[in-house]
Structure 1
Amino acid sequence: MIPQGRPALTLDDVAARAGVSPSTWRRLHHAAFTAAVQPLPGSARPLLYDAAQVDAHLTGQPVPPLPHEPHPGDLLTDAEVAAVTGLSASTVRADAVSGLLDPGIERHGRRWWTRTAAEARTTRPTQYKGRTPGAKDRTPRRTAPDPRLPEIVSALAAAQAGQGPAVTPASLADRYQVSTRTAERLIAKARTHTS
């Protein structure tokens, strides 16, 4: 989270404020800095630091605390928005692309959303069009009956009564232009309809 109105800095920005190169910063000052100044909550790749805390550390003053109260203008990561909305981080990113959520702000190579936008998403109904989560019905979906089955059932009945030729997978495969295995399945289904 980047608190509202508080600039955030990467480690390279911190090194520039200290007047040294990033490699010199990492070699000489990084350990003492990270012991005194914590990265902003939720920041990762790159780690971000509060500019006021960085400036206080660089001038040798006590590091001021971050604001404790949430502000509507705070910038949140996808994971933090997910915690506010009750969604997953991937759903937050997908909603931003599809327009269900504010597109956010690009800062430091990643996307951020205001707390106001995150809270507005919590009141919006979901756009889920599939099965209702937690549904108890396990009824399989109905499929249209195979139009070949009545023909095969009557052919089997005629063959059994001695009034027609024997129904074999090879004859059905040739008649319906299907594989022999599919013809075997059709015969098995037809037999279940006759019994």
Structure 2
Amino acid sequence: MAQLAGVSLATWRRRHHAAFVAAVHPLPGSQRPVIYDAAQVEAHLAGEQVPTLAALIAAEDQAAGTVEDERGTTLPPHPSDLLSDQEAGAVAKVSASTIRADAAAGRMDAGMERHGRRWWTRAAAEERADRQPQYKGRTTGSKDKAPRSRPEDHRVAEVATELAAAEAGRRVPVTAAELAERYEVSERTAERIMARARAAATSAPTAE
């Protein structure tokens, strides 16, 4: 939203956020991160009257030649629906952290990056639900003291990209508060992610 409005994230939160949420409502069923309709957002930022979702759907149907007398704004589940880690976990009957760990370790679809978050299709979540677990933790009472491998955290690479963009002047500086909100973690955890991202960038081989 801040980028569309041409202001910094801090300025958006301080001066524009309250008026925006009062005029534009999230899409039905939208959870964190909250998703808005692009046409409604553009209308608000242009100072125009925000069209209703029903009006937008009717206009799309008319353009497609499939106008109906009555139509709700809630569509049935579809295999291509994009789900957050929490939503995918609910479908797969596992925790959100398991979805992230499975994706990082290659045990399920890696998902896709959209709007600063990683998403999985409903089809991938349902496939994960149909698959029996193929791994387990250390056996109780095991004498093996070797450290267990840690799956790669996709957040580190994402934050490293954002840090590089900030250093190049292509975006505002990255803050722990921003990352805490994006990944739904504490600011302390966000700081650790930033530290790991900086370390990864420092240790990465340079092109010759």
Structure (1 or 2) with the larger CA radius of gyration: 1
